[in-house]
Every structure is written in structure tokens, then in C-alpha cells.
Structure 1
Amino acid sequence: MIEVESVDVSLGDTEILRDVSLRVPAGEFVGLVGPNGAGKTTLLRTVNGAIDPDAGRVLVDGDRMSDLSSRAGSRRVATVPQDTGTRFAFSVEDVVAMGRTPHRSRFGSDDGGDAVERALERTSTASFRDRRISTLSGGERQRVFVARAIAQEAPALVLDEPTASLDVNHATRTLSLVCELVADGRAVLGAIHDLEAAARFCDRLVMLADGEVVASGAPADVLTADALATSFDMESVVTRNPVTGAPTVTPLSDTGDERRSVHVLGGGRVGAAVVARLHAAGFGVTAGPVPEGDELLGVSERLDVPTETVPPMSALDGSTLAAAGERIDEADVTVLADLTLTPDGGLLDLAAEAGQTVVVEERPLDERDRAGTDQRRRYERLRERVTTSGLDDVAATVRSVGADAGRHVSRRGI
């Protein structure tokens, strides 16, 4: 449906796009990701015909956009702009009805039927159809412009940061609606700043940097730590969201309180995320023991986090326990990250030796209990006496607990 072939675009003396090629077939949602200034908006404006490329060509449904009239091009491509400001106080219904302009004859007739009504209902904007667009919030205006694009009934749709003004709930609803339009057969190309949302909702991603395509493919293949480092100039850790299965990007920084050290007990996705977030906050982090092949190891190896390992499906031996115990003794805070209870009780023994302790739990204990009643009771007694935290707040919680020099956690009876 959308074909961009070796496109170059310069604005004045500045080269914006260089040899950009991509394809968006009908029934696919392709997300454009990349840093500010990468050329995403310019590429979208080239696709919808607002800019003629200096070289290369853009085809939509087989026709070259530069050969089509403005009206004909608007029947091929509908646009949701990033800037939803308006100069005049049109009503919401009038703004949505503007999407029908390419379909009206010179006598003003339009055979689109109730396309405007369907678009209002589909975007949940019918309830304020009579309000002036200037009285709406930024998020409400964004939904109105999505409704206008739907009313346009073009087979291709380009979106420039469609969720930039929306809260999390409306952003999810908007992208879910876009996915419905894709399921109806539209081809959608959208610039999306939220990498996790792009990974979750898009079929494929195209990463731009300095006006060039640097990566293209499935979200998991594009959102890699190496590609993000090259394009965004940032260190990051990429893990998998356990609910959606999509990649989750955790940016890292060199700032924080490096005087405090933290040891992480536990592994898997939660352990990996805890290590990444604490490292990003500037803590000195150690981890383990974890079995070889654990998800945490991929993160700790990239960040040079010292980690004790054991062979898969094996009990903890004395030397491993001793090494991990030394790291715990040296740490200011120990974090139990979705700790799994094992029959040998080795991890609980290590937890019992920790001083300041924070528990982070994402999975129910029943899913992590491989030991039985006695070990479960030990863990529950420990959990009652330490600080608990959500994954998103773990760095702030560790900082708060570590700063409380007078706090003492009794380990008697654990």
C-alpha cells in the first residue's frame, strides 16, 4: 500500500532524509522510532504528499504521490498531525466532517453517508460533538483529529506522535483503535515516541537516526541495546514484558548515589529488571546466585554486574553460598526479587543473613514455592519484617531504606 523508495529530502541547505526505503502493506501497522531530529515527521509529510522528495519516490496504492492532485492524494492518505491546534473555533463535529472534504464534489455533495457519525462513535468523541474544538484538552483534541482521519476513509493512514497528549488509558485506547483500523485493511505508518507502546502495538518498527534507516523489522529485532545506543546515544537494558511479550526498554544513566551498594537475590525477568533499574540509579550492584542461562545474567553481563552462578537444576554448594554471603555482608541493602523457594532453603539462608532488606514481588508466591510448608513459613515471617516495594519504585525504596541508618531488621526465628 505505502512504498518509499530511496527517498532523499533536503530543506534549504539541510539534508533531512537520505536514501530512505520502506514498505507498509495493507493490514500492517509500522512504527517509526528514533531520536528527536531523526527525520520522522519529514518522512510522514513526504508520504502524505506535503513534501516532494528530491530523489526517489513515494507510491500509495500503486500511484506516485507527486503525480496526484491534493484531493486525490487525500483520498489515498489520511493524516493525524502532531500539532492539533486550530486557528478557528470550529465545533468538534465540523472538524471531523473536514475529513470528508476530498470526497465532496464541486457542488458540495458527498456520498460518504454517515462516515462522520461512525468516526465520532468509534473515537468516543460524540458526547462533545457540539463543543468548540478550542475548549477541549490536548488529549480530547487528539482524539478528534483521529476521528477526522477515520472519517476520511483513506486506505492509508499516517500518524505523527498520536499519543503525545494522551494519558496512559487514552493512549492505549487510541493505539488499540489504530490496530482495529489495521485489521480492517488499512496500511498505517506512525511515528511513536513511546518505545514500549510502539513495541506492543506495531507489527514492525523502522528506526531512523540522522535521516537514515538504521534498523527495520520485528520490534524485538529493532529495539536492541546496541541499536538504541547507536541511535539514541544511550545505554539501556531491554527485557521482555511478561504480560504483552513485547520488549521493554530501561534507559541507564551514570547519575545517582554510587556510595551505596545493593545485592539482588532472585532472578528471572524481575531480577533482571531490578538489577537494571538499580544500576541506572547509580547503585553499586551485585547479584546471585542464579542458574546459568537465567534472564538476569544477560543484563548483569552487559552492565558488568558481579553475579554468582550455579549449573541449572542444581543445589547451592557451600562455596557458592559463602561467596554470595560475602557480597550480602558488603552490601548496604539486599533486594529479594521474586525470590523462588527451593527445597534446600539456600536462598532463604542468605536472605536471613541480610541486614536492610527490600522485597519486590511480581508473581504470586504459589508460583515461586518449590519447597513446601516450612520454607514458605520462613519466607512469610521474613516478609513481615522487611520493606516491600513495587518494581517501578525499587530504586527510591532502596535509597530510602539505605539512608535509614537507625533501622534494624530482626532475623530471629527466620
Structure 2
Amino acid sequence: MIEIDGVAVELGENSILDGVTTAVEDGQFVGLVGPNGAGKTTLLRTINGVVELDRGEVRVGGDPVASLSSKETSRRVAVVPQDTTLSFDFPVEEVVAMGRHPYRSRFSGGGADSADGPSDRERVVAAMERTEVTAFADRSITAVSGGERQRVLLARALAQDTPALLLDEPTASLDINHQVRTLELVRELVDEDDKTVVAAIHDLNLAAHYCDELRLLSGGRIRASGDPETVLAEDHLEAAFDTRAVVSSHPVTGSTYVTALPERPVEREGRVHVVGGGGTVSRLLYVLSAAGYDVSVGALNEGDSDLETARSLGLDAVTEEPFAPVGDDARRAVESRVREADVTVLADVEVGVGNLANLRAARETDSVVVVEERSFAERNYAGSDAAALYRELCERGRVVGPDELLPAVEEAVDPPSERAGPATE
């Protein structure tokens, strides 16, 4: 669908794109990722034909974009811009109807009920229904929220009825609910309508979850290309973003998951014991180990992927036989490590009769951080005793999301009151 061959773009004396070559197949969702200023927006604009190339060629549907008229390009590629600000005071439905402009002759009308007939109107209505903006079709575009306005512009692009969509930071400035709704819809368009989508996405984890493939841009060049797991490798991220990161698999979605690490010395004071299992703590172990903490984990059954991760990192792990419940010896070993630790981290683990002893052992801690991604009710298979233990640990400690783990552990190991030192007269 889209072929980019040796493209170079210079603005003034600055090289924005430098010999970019890549292709996007029909029905693919490809994400452009990279630091600010990497050339993601410029690359999108070359596909749409609005940026003049200094070298190279862009082809859409087999034809060079430079040889197509503006209307013909707009029949092949629709754009959802990053800036959703619209200063004109048109109703939402009229904004969506603007997507039909490439199909109108210079003598046809300009509204949704134009002389082009009912097909225009039907496409506009269908696009509004698909993006769930029908309820405010008569409202002024300047009177809707940012998330709603993003959906209106997506509806306009759908009404344009093109095989390819270009999205420039479609989740920028949106809350997490609207981010997910927007990308779920885009994924749906790829899977059900066979749309080809290229999107610049700043959130690496959202890009990894929703895109088929990624292109990592840095310094105007593509540094890595392929599936998210391949592109979002730690060495690629360090080279492109000049920062350390831990890459693992998300315990709930299974997607590639990136956690940026602070630029701090590798070695630091503090011992952390982690309670988890079933693949829920591998990412946490990577993060805590890379941050320089002395980490222990368990009890984990032999064969658990978390145990494999712990061993690959050289961590102290309390183990139990495969599929066996946590026995007395393992429980005592966990209790000992919990008492020795400065903080205990309880992961988003499923709790049954077999590993309930881990929660009981965690009560030995003086400081606990609970990492919660799902409600405990969704993963509690040990009844009211487990619920009471979990509630007690939450009340005694701090409940955080996975991205808040490091600050919470740092504060638990080195509280602000202790960092300030003793009071002086």
C-alpha cells in the first residue's frame, strides 16, 4: 500500500529525514515511534504529499504521490492530525461531511446533503456511528471535549473512505480512557475493514499493544523495523532515546512492555522481597534489579516463568516443587527474607489455597508496596481469608500501578524524613 524509497527532507540547513526506506503492507497497522524531533510527523506528511522531497520517492497504491493530484491523493490517504483545534464554528456533522470533499466536483454543494446524492450522506452517518459521535452531531465543533473532537476528526477521515489512514499522535493529550477507545477503534478498522494505518505514537506501550509492526526513528533515520518485541529491544531504546529501559512482557496482556529507568548509579542501598508468581513479577524483577536493589523473590514453583527470570538475573529465590502448595519450609524461608527486607512488594498475583502462605508470610513486613493492575476480587480463589489478608496489607502499605513501583520502593527504603537527616538547633 505504501512504499517509501530513499526519502530525504531538508528544511533550511537541517536534515529532517535522511534516506528513509520502508514499506507498509495492505491491512497493516504500523506505528512510528521515537524521540521528539525524530521525523515521525514529517514522514507522515511525505506520505500525504504535503512535504516536498529533496531525494527519494513515496508511492501509495503503486503510484508516486508526486504524480497524483491533491484530490486523488485524498482518495487514497486520509489524515487525522495531532492538533485537533478547530477555530471555525461548524456543527460536528458538517465537519465530518468535509471528508467527502475529494469526491465532489467543483459544481456540487458543500454540505452533507449535497448534490452528490444519498451515498455521501450515508457515509457521513456511518462514520459518525462508527466513532460514536452521532449524539452530538448538531453541536458546534468548538463546544466538544478534546476526546470527542479527536473522534470527530477520525469520523471525518472515515467518511473520506480511503484505503489508508495516517494518524499523528492520535492519543496525545487524551486521558487513558480516550486513548484506549481511540486505538481500539483503529485496531478494529484494520482487522474488520482491512484499512492500512500508519500512526505516530509517543506511548511505546500503547504502540506495542496495538500495532502489528513498528518503525523506530531517530535522527531522521529508521533505526529498527519489525514486530514490537524486535523493535523495542533495550539496546535500540537506549540508542534512540539515550536512556536506560527494561523491556519485558506485560503479565495481563502479554504485550511487550517498556519501563524507563532513572539515570542513577547501578548499586544502591536497600533490600526488596517480591511476592508473586505465574508471570506477574518478571517485569518487576527486571526493574528492581536494574535499579540496583538487592532483590529476593518467592516462594515460586519450579517451572514458573518468574523463577526463570529470577535465575537469569541471579536473584535469591525461594522455591517449591512444581504445582505443589507452599509448604512450611518454603513459608519460613519467605518469612525470613521478608523480615530481612527493607520493603516487601506484593505483585498483581492470583491467590489460591496453594500460595496463600505467601500472603501470610508478607505480614512479617514492616513496609509493603502493593502493585495492583486488577481488582483483588478478580484474582482471589482463596476466599475471605485471602481477602482479609490482602486488605490488611493494602491498609498497612501503599497501593500503586506498575509504573509507580520505583518511586514507591525508593520512598519506602529511604523515607523523606530520614533523607533530611537529624534535626539541628
Residue 301 of structure 1: how far off its partner (Å): 7.5
How far has the Cα of 1:391 moved from its partner? 4.4
Residue 194 of structure 2 corresponds to 185
Q: Secondary structure at the match of 2:7?
A: strand
Q: Structure 1 residues 120-129 or 146-155, which shifts more?
A: 120-129
1:194 maps onto 2:200 in alignment: no
> Residue 218 of structure 2: which of 200, 209, 225 is its match?
209
Q: Give a deviation string over 1:147-203, Cα, whole Å, max 9, x none.
A: 111111111111101121333223222222222322312211111112222122211
Following the alignment from structure 1 to structure 2, what is the Cα–Cα distance between the partners of residues 81 and 359? 39
Q: Trace 1:317-336 onto structure 2 (pairs within 5 A).
A: 327-336=337-346
Aligned equivalents of 2:305, 2:317: Cα separation in 1 = 14
From the superposition, tell whether residues 394 and 43 of structure 1 become closer, same or farther in structure 2 (CA, over 3 Å).
closer
- SS state of the match for residue 229, structure 1? helix
CA distance in 2, matches of 1:311, 1:189: 47
- 2:148 maps to which residue? 140
| 1:64 shift after superposition | 0.2
Contact 2:307–2:317 (Cα < 8 Å) also in 1: no
* Secondary structure of residue in 2 paired with 1:262: strand
Q: Does 1:261 align with 2:271?
A: yes
Aligned to 2:316: 307
Partner of 2:8: 8
* Contact 1:252/1:276, CA 8 A, preserved across alignment: no
Q: Kindly indicate whether the alpha-carbon contact (under 8 Å) linking 1:264 and 1:287 is maintained by their aligned counterparts in 2.
A: yes
Residue 266 of structure 1: how far off its partner (Å): 3.2
Decide which moves more: 42-51 or 164-173.
164-173
Call closer, same or farther: CA 1:345–1:102 in 2, change over 3 Å: closer
Residue 32 (structure 1) aligns with:
32
Amino acid at match of 1:119: A
- Aligned counterpart, 1:272: 282
Task: Give the C-alpha shift of residue 16 in structure 1.
Answer: 0.9
Count of aligned pairs between the two proteins: 398
Counterpart Cα distance in 2 of 1:71 and 1:205: 29
Amino acid at match of 2:236: A
How far residue 219 of structure 1 moved from its aligned partner, in angstroms, is 1.6
Picking from 107, 116, 119, the partner of 1:110 is 116
What SS class does the counterpart of residue 178 from structure 1 fall into? helix
- Shift in Å, 1:4: 0.9
Alignment partners' CA distance in 1, 2:356 and 2:203: 42
Distance, in Å, in 1 between the alignment partners of 2:256 and 2:227 is: 10
The residue number in structure 2 matching 1:412 is none
The equivalent residue for 2:423 is none
Q: What is the CA–CA distance in structure 2 between the aligned matches of 1:320 and 1:124, rounded to whole Å? A: 53
Indicate the residue corresponding to 1:251 in structure 2: 260
Q: Distance in 2 between matches of 1:350 and 1:239?
A: 27
Residues 301 and 223 from structure 1, CA distance in 2 versus in 1: closer, same or farther, beyond 3 angstroms?
farther
Q: Secondary structure at the match of 2:23?
A: strand
Matched to 1:265, the amino acid is: V
- Structure 2 SS opposite 1:120: helix
Determine if contact 1:100/1:110 at 8 Å carries over to the other structure.
Answer: no
State whether structure 2 residue 163 is matched by structure 1 residue 167.
no
Q: Distance in 1 between matches of 2:286 and 2:56?
A: 43
Runs of 5+ consecutive residues of structure 1 not aligned to the other structure = 406-414
What is the rounded CA distance, in whole Å, between the counterparts of 2:89 and 2:294 in structure 1?
Answer: 56
* 1:49 correspondence with 2:37: no
- CA displacement 1:367-404 (0-9 Å, x = unmatched): 898xx99xx96x67755653463544656765776659
Question: Which deviates more from structure 2 when the two are superposed, residues 304-313 or residues 154-163?
Answer: 304-313
Is the partner of 2:120 in helix, strand or coil? Answer: coil
Question: What does residue range 21-100 of structure 1 map to in structure 2 within 5 Å?
Answer: 21-100=21-100
> In structure 1, what residue type is equivalent to 2:82?
Q
1:20-79 Cα shifts (integer Å, max 9, x gaps): 122122211111111111110000000000012211111001110011111211111110
Distance 1:286 1:45, change over 3 A: same
Q: 1:382 to 1:148 in 2, by over 3 A?
A: closer
The 5 A counterparts of 1:253-402 are 253-254=262-263, 260-276=270-286, 284-289=293-298, 290=300, 294-296=304-306, 306-308=315-317, 313=322, 327-337=337-347, 338=349, 351=362, 354-357=365-368, 383=390, 385-386=392-393, 387=396, 389=399, 391-392=401-402
Q: Which moved more, 1:25-34 or 1:261-270?
A: 261-270
Q: SS at the partner of 1:269?
A: coil
RMSD of aligned Cα (Å): 3.8
Counterparts of 1:118 and 1:241, CA distance in 2: 35
In 2: Cα distance, 1:317 partner to 1:116 partner: 64
Partner of 2:111: none
Shift of the 82–301 alpha-carbon distance from structure 1 to 2, 3 Å rule, reads farther
State the AA in 2 paired with 1:53.
L
Q: 1:274 touches 1:391 (CA, 8 Å); kept in 2? A: no
Cα distance, 1:287 vs structure 2: 1.5
Aligned residue for 1:190, secondary structure, equals: strand
| Structure 1 residues 298 and 33: alpha-carbon distance in aligned structure 2, compared to 1, 3 A threshold | farther
Listed one character per residue, the Cα deviations across residues 313-336 of structure 1 (whole Å, up to 9, x for unaligned) are 398999999986664443222234
Q: So what's the TM-score if we normalise by structure 2? A: 0.78
- 8 A contact 2:342–2:412 mirrored in 1: no
CA distance 1:196–1:345, shift in 2 (3 Å) = closer
3-state secondary structure, aligned to 1:121: helix
Identity across matched positions, percent: 44
Change (3 A) 1:230 1:65: same
CA distance in 2, matches of 1:174, 1:72: 27
SS of match in other structure, 1:20? strand
